[in-house]
Amino acid sequence: MKKILLIISAMMVLFSCGKKEAEKTDGGKQGSAMSELKPESGATLKIWESKGKEADWIKYVAQEFEKKYNVKVTYENVEAPDVVKKLQTEGKTDSGAADLVVFPHDNIGTAASAGLLFTLDDVPELVNKVEQDFYPGAVSGSKAMDNKHYGVPLAMETYALFYNKDLLPTAPDSFEKLIEATKSLTNKGAQKFGILFEPANFYFSYAFLSADGGYVFKNGTDVNDMGLNNDGAVKGLEAMLKLKEVSADKAQDVNANVIKALFTEGKVAAVINGPWFLSDLKDSKVKYGVVPLPTINGQKPKSFSGVRILGINSTTKYPQAAVLFLEFASSKEMLQKRFEMTGQIPPLKSFEPADDISKAFLAQISVAEPMPSVPQMGAVWDPMGAALGDAWAGKAQPKVALDNAVKAIKDQIAATKK
């Protein structure tokens, strides 16, 4: 992006993020609007990012950015899940906080509501670029409840179907076909199964509920409109329960360690898992493949996803340089390099990985939904886990189980308002 129009000046940017501190230091004066984005004179930037491969990549981007814009960017290790909490307590850049921060999207609601982040809606050309270049799920992951953008997506992860090629030479394109193909392979007494996943783990099971129209909160933000017990969600749960014929009888018997052990021993035809499972299979002798989640009742499951976001501290002294860094870091060239260095898939529409595994995850990412980032999401996990467990065990019919969960969620949300 060579030229970009700014709607407001640097001080107006800080004000738009809800920060009053700037007014104390300069009397609240606003500069003139700028017609061309360029680094402020003497600009330097600091970024908080996790260690390891992510740090290696951000240091590479910083080096290339400095070559292009003559702006020094320094790295400081703050693990992504800790970034927003650290911003809340140490967020003023004049006290040494970072100008740029990388964090998981489900923290964005907290950060935005506290006025900790620069809103990119003040830079419409960058927002338009993000909305055009990235998959919708990644774009929605960068937004808060006010529907404003608070960062650019760097990576997105979700889960897909791993299958044993010796047991399933061809991956079924529907869960109905998977059941038929693996009935003869299932011997529960010998711990041999057609499929394993964590049925009482809402993170994974959401894909079934979502396929035919279930949802957590409408548009991910309307907590007054829940769709976890609507007709689509019930239909999806009923379809999920059919998998029990070729899966474990007890949900509590299935966890990540069990899935890893039985799949690597060649006892399971297919498992639902994420890219983190690849490291578990590195030394395994199992011949496996990965495909997007099969259809359910003819519908594509919308799996939950997590989005890694790069945002700007609202108290940065160099908003122009920071916006330029976001644009630079989220370019196809830099995100391709990120993929090469970290293996994390950029949710760019133009990204075309060469390997089949990345292609499979990217295909699932294209229909995935970011976990809602609103604070009320915290009330969802336990009731839904209990409902899914009850349904899997046959203790409650799908509709009853989901009705009970929604009531418990609404009660918890209401209790927080008192």
d(CA 330, CA 133): 10
| Helices and strands: H and E segment counts in the chain | 17, 12
Three-class SS state of 75: strand
d(CA 376, CA 216): 10
Least confident residue range of 35-44, 85-94, 392-401: 35-44
Decide: 199 and 253 in contact? Cβ < 8 Å: no
pLDDT tens-digit profile of 143-186? 998 999 999 999 999 999 999 999 999 999 999 999 999 999 99
pLDDT band, residue 5 (cuts 50/70/90): very low
The DSSP bridge partners found for residue 270 are 163, 195
Three-class SS state of 313: strand
**Comma-separated ranges of CATH 3.40.190.10 domains in the chain:** 44-157+306-370, 160-302+374-416
d(CA 233, CA 34): 49
In the block, residue with structure tokens 């908003």: 319
pLDDT band, residue 36 (cuts 50/70/90): confident
Query: Token pair of 121, please?
Result: 């809606």
> For a pLDDT cut of 90, what percent of the chain falls above it?
87
Query: Token pair of 111, please?
Result: 């950060």
Q: Is the pLDDT of residue 258 over 90?
A: yes
Q: What is the pLDDT averaged over residues 277-296?
A: 95
Residue 219 sits at the vertex; the CA angle it makes with 217 and 225, to the nearest 5 degrees, is: 40
For position 287, what pLDDT does the model report? 97
Residue 145 sits at the vertex; the CA angle it makes with 140 and 151, to the nearest 5 degrees, is: 50
Q: Is the pLDDT of residue 334 over 70?
A: yes
pLDDT band, residue 4 (cuts 50/70/90): very low
Quote the mean pLDDT of the chain: 91
CA distances (Å), origin 234, targets 305, 371, 389, 412? 21, 20, 14, 22
Decide: 210 and 302 in contact? Cβ < 8 Å: yes
Name the packing angle between helices 398-417 and 231-242 (round to 10°): 130
d(CA 410, CA 414): 6
Q: Is the pLDDT of residue 330 over 50?
A: yes
The DSSP bridge partners found for residue 268 are 193
Q: Is the pLDDT of residue 21 over 70?
A: no
Q: Is the pLDDT of residue 205 over 50?
A: yes
Please name the fold of domain 160-302+374-416.
D-Maltodextrin-Binding Protein; domain 2 (3.40.190)
**How would DSSP label each residue in 5-45?**
--SS-HHHHHHHTT--HHHHHHTT---PPPSS--PPTT-EE
For position 37, what pLDDT does the model report? 85
From the list 292, 253, 271, 290, the residue with the least C-alpha distance to 182 is 271
Decide: 309 and 151 in contact? Cβ < 8 Å: yes
pLDDT tens-digit profile of 342-370? 999 999 999 999 999 999 999 999 999 99
Which CATH class for the 44-157+306-370 domain? Answer: alpha beta
For position 145, what pLDDT does the model report? 87
For position 108, what pLDDT does the model report? 94
Query: Token pair of 85, please?
Result: 């909490």
Residue 159's identity, in one-letter code, is Y
Q: Is the pLDDT of residue 22 over 50?
A: no
In the block, residue with structure tokens 């104390």: 24
From the list 244, 311, 296, 301, the residue with the least C-alpha distance to 80 is 311
